[in-house]
Amino acid sequence: MRSSHTVRGEVAECARALHARGWVANHDGNVTARDGALLVATPTATSKRLATERGLVEVDLSGKPQAGARVFGEIGLHVVVYERRPDVGAVVHAHPPHATAIACAAGANLIERPFLAEAAVSLGPIVPRTAPAMPGDPAKQALAPWCELVDAVLLGGHGVIAWGKDCEQALLRLELVEHLAAIALAAVAAGGIAPLAPEAWAPLMQARAKAGIGRAADRAVELFGKLGSGAAPTAAVAAAPKAVVACAPAPHANVPVVAIGRKPEKPERSGADLASIVREEIVRALKDS
């Protein structure tokens, strides 16, 4: 486990990098990282240019400030990610100009489907853009369905948020989103974006699944079949987890459990939701035995 000193140093360095690259202005942007049972966070109302280890604040995993610290108002977005992704150790939010332009544009999300092979492996089959939402619960609700599915999101009318095992990985993902956005805007002016060939996606998703870069990547092959159209998460992909029969769920499992003999709530069905049908039949058979 990394020391608190190391974690704090990485958060401060990441914050300063955001300012140096011109991805934040004024008091924009925020960075957090796990440090045991707490989150280390950049302080509110402070330029990222001035970030230091001593100036960082601590909050618990629900976002509650410790020792009277003043935390930034968007801490809820970070908490939503950590709640749904126990493999995530850092979250970075900023306003890199090209990606933020696409996040705020009235037109299409030009980077929704990555068009560079390297980006497809690193980011997956989709870089989603949420609908514009007011700060607080509406913004959290817009982000929440994507946390288990991707590693970077365009926040509609706002900016970009990315996450990873540490600040470096989260920053690299945010960097790649901005790189894609800059290329996309230039490509449109040069005649349009040429997408990856359809036959390229299967091997790219297999490579992503083998890369060991987080839970969303581990599921790359499965998720490509569900997110390959670029559509928003459906009930079959991102709805609240369905009840299962289990003796002892995995520690990271985010699923409710029902006692044998009880019938769980009837799950929402889609044509491809075979897993739900199988689980329902198992519960029925156990009840009747």
The DSSP secondary structure of 85-115, one letter per residue, reads -TT--EEEEE--HHHHHHHH-SS--TTSS--
**Nearest Cα to 264, choosing from 253, 249, 279?**
279
| Interatomic CA distance for residues 162 and 216, integer angstroms | 13
Instruction: Name the DSSP class of 69.
Output: -
Query: What pLDDT does residue 123 have?
Result: 97
CATH architecture of 4-235: 3-Layer(aba) Sandwich (3.40)
Average pLDDT for 193-207: 97
The pLDDT mean for the chain works out to: 85
Percent of the chain with pLDDT over 70: 78
What pLDDT digit, counting tens, does each position of 51-104 carry?
A: 999 999 999 999 999 987 889 999 999 999 999 999 999 999 999 999 999 999
Query: What pLDDT does residue 229 have?
Result: 61
- Tell me how crowded residue 22 is: count the other CB atoms within 10 A of its CB: 11
Q: What are the C-alpha distances in Å from 219 to residues 125, 126, 213?
A: 11, 13, 11
| Interatomic CA distance for residues 70 and 59, integer angstroms | 9
What pLDDT digit, counting tens, does each position of 121-174 carry?
A: 999 999 999 999 999 999 999 999 999 999 999 999 999 999 999 999 999 999
| Interatomic CA distance for residues 144 and 80, integer angstroms | 6
Q: What are the domain boundaries of the chain?
A: 4-235, 240-289
In total, the chain counts a number of residues equal to 289
Quote the tokens at residue 14. 């990441």
- Tell me how crowded residue 165 is: count the other CB atoms within 10 A of its CB: 15
Q: What are the C-alpha distances in Å from 7 to residues 50, 57, 60?
A: 17, 12, 15
Query: What pLDDT does residue 12 have?
Result: 98
What pLDDT digit, counting tens, does each position of 257-267 carry?
A: 444 344 444 44
